[in-house]
Amino acid sequence: MADRFTVVVMLLMSTSALALKKGELLDMSFSFDGNSLSYPGLGFFELTSQYRGPLNAIPWVEYNNILSPEHVGTHMDAPIHVSEGKLHIDEIPLSRFTCPAVRIDITEKTKLDRDYGMTVQDLQDWEEVYGKIPDDCLLFVYTGWGAFYPDRLAYQGTTRNDTFLDEQGKSLVHSPGVAPEAATWLLENRKISGLGLDAPSLDIGQDTVFKTHQILLGANVYGVENVANLDKLPNTGAWVYAFPMKIVGGSGGSVRLVAQLKADTSGAVMLSASFVTLLGLISVLF
């Protein structure tokens, strides 16, 4: 029980680091440029100038072309990405892109193990403090890896950008993610719209069959990868806008991800969290 108590106290301490004020907007998208990261083998974002300068009687005209994988930078995985017959990016209902945001902080675990996948226990520990994960939310897993983006080696554990597999078929990528058991638990016990994280993949980098992808996307839950500024998102109390590029037949697409604190909930969260701590203490003591 003492361990459980420590977990609760740690979660409470992370709550007190709220950085968002009521109504304030948080930009959770990384910028697109030549350094934008995609999973090794998927290619690069490239901006090519089409025109820049005076044009006829117009003093200045400037426009560019974009060449980009669907899955680069801060982007959404549509269910079809790894699940035949499921939704393309343009087929996901609009209402699923604007919803409550919750954040599960697993940074203490990933510091010790860069191949860490969020567990069922992590979810249950979070719920002990904040209550049930709300229906139709976008659940963010805060791995801490966002701080490394776009340093390929630090973020992905390899400088390779052409393939994620070595000659023995093992993954070259080392990055945290979500354990398949946690994905299954979420589907069976809760009802989320999507799952996002500040890491290269929903799966830990060492998983070569992308089990967590298969589980979540197979249930028409969308993913959001390479999320920015998760350190500034409160664990509860925010709202998120995750409207993706509407590509006909797209398996994914860029999303300008934005969060907003809908109410000044920091006080309420602290109060309710303190109450849960008190209950925890009572259960330890008696």
List contacts with a copy of itself (CB under 8 A).
Answer: 25, 27, 29-33, 42-43, 47, 50, 56-71, 80-84, 90, 94-95, 97-98, 169, 208-210, 214, 241, 243-256, 258, 260
If the CB atoms of residues 30 and 130 are measured against a copy of itself, the closer one turns out to be: 30
Which lies closer to a copy of itself via its Cβ, residue 34 or residue 112? 34
Q: What are phi and psi of 60, to 5 degrees?
A: -150, 130
Minimal distance, residue 131 CB to a copy of itself, in Å: 24
CB of 88 to a copy of itself, least distance (A): 9
Give the total residue count for the chain: 286
Q: How far is the CB of 38 from a copy of itself (least distance, A)?
A: 10
Question: Do β-strands 137-142 and 192-197 pair in parallel, antiparallel, or remain unpaired?
Answer: parallel
Residue 244: CB minimum distance to a copy of itself, A: 6
Q: For a copy of itself, give the closer residue by CB, 63 or 286.
A: 63
Say which DSSP state 75 is in. Answer: E
Q: How far is the CB of 82 from a copy of itself (least distance, A)?
A: 6
- Residue pair 156/206 in contact by the 8 Å Cβ criterion: no
Handedness of CA 264, 270, 273, 279 (dihedral sign): negative
195: Cβ contacts below 8 Å, ≥ 6 apart: 138, 139, 140, 141, 178, 183, 186, 202, 216, 221, 222, 223, 224
Least Cβ distance, residue 223 to a copy of itself (angstroms): 13
Q: Determine the Cα–Cα distance for residues 277 and 9; give it in Å rounded to an integer.
A: 7
The CA-based angle 43-47-48, given to 5 degrees, is: 120
The span from the CA of 243 to the CA of 239, in Å, is 13
The residue with tokens 């108590």 is 5
Q: Pick between residue 106 and residue 215 the one whose CB is nearest to a copy of itself.
A: 215
Closest CA to 203 of 178, 169, 183: 178
103 closest CA partner among 66, 69, 82, 134: 134
Nearer to a copy of itself by Cβ, of 72 and 273: the residue is 72
Shortest reach from residue 69's CB to a copy of itself, in Å? 6
Omega before residue 150 within 30° of 0, cis: yes
Please report how close the Cβ of residue 12 comes to a copy of itself at its closest, in angstroms: 30
Q: Compare residues 8 and 255 and give the one whose CB is closer to a copy of itself.
A: 255
Select 20 or 106, whichever has its Cβ closest to a copy of itself: 20
Nearer to a copy of itself, 260 or 272 (CB): 260
End-to-end Cα separation, the chain, in angstroms: 11
